[in-house]
Amino acid sequence: MPPTVPGTGSLQGKRALVTGGSRGIGAAIVKRLARDGAYVALTYVSKPDEAEKAVTEAQALSGRALAIRADSADAGAVVAAVDRSARELGGLDVLVNNAGLAVMAPIDTYRLEDLDRMLAVNLRAVVLATQAAAKHMREGGRVINVGSCNAERMPFAGGAIYAMTKAALVGLAKGLARDLGPRGITVNNIQPGPTDTDMNPATGPFADTLRGLMALPRFAAADEIAGMVAYLAGPEAGFITGASLGIDGGFTA
């Protein structure tokens, strides 16, 4: 397990929203942005205790954080969460579209309701949150989408719809970079590989299979994914936009 990276202070005073920030990769991103000095809002759907834990840890690091209950499948809730974050934090500089859903099933049995929810959470919510956040952002704003290595490689059956939603984020980042670039706002997409979280543990039933697909035969730590997000949110990444950056241990190599 890589050591925890100390805060750099590079985001001092910045205001950030992380969707799906109560657990796993999202919670790691919340803590890393707070460690670097940002005020952070997060959204969650269930388990308010986990959301409050993430808020408490972020507050201890940067002094200011809040949790907002908002289902990313609900268009109105997505927009309201962005506007509330900007209002309570005093503005918005960073949006991390992390909330995501994975429903795996063969295409011949894939249910319409699962398709609709996947499109709503993994794609529509990203568009709506970015549209709402752009109204609050000034020059130097950052939009960072958390995609997946499965946008580039889907090595097993049943993942077609999930891979489609994550591949769409590649094109979305390119297009949004053109839309928002003239305002000095960057838009990027990261593509994590297998990451050790409670939903996909490194000791899970499919872990050995996944490690066998990678150049580095281990799962990422959530803090490693958060580190890439923090870099893209910081001042050193100001000339990176429209990019889809892999952090997958060689899953797509």
Report, as residue numbers or ranges, the catalytic residues.
162
- Compute the CA torsion angle 35, 1, 193, 32 (nearest 10 deg): 0
3-state secondary structure of 179: helix
Q: How far apart are CA 114 and CA 66, in angstroms?
A: 30
Q: How far apart are CA 9 and CA 26, in angstroms?
A: 20
Query: What phi, psi does 153 have (nearest 5°)?
Result: -150, 120
Radius of gyration of the chain (CA): 17
Q: How does DSSP assign 148-172, residue by residue? A: -GGGT---STT-HHHHHHHHHHHHH
Q: How far apart are CA 194 and CA 6, in angstroms?
A: 24
Query: CA torsion sign, 126 to 131 to 133 to 138?
Result: positive
Contacts of 234 (CB under 8 A, 6+ apart): 8, 10, 11, 36
Q: Do residues 143 and 180 lie in contact, with contact meaning Cβ atoms separated by under 8 Å?
A: yes
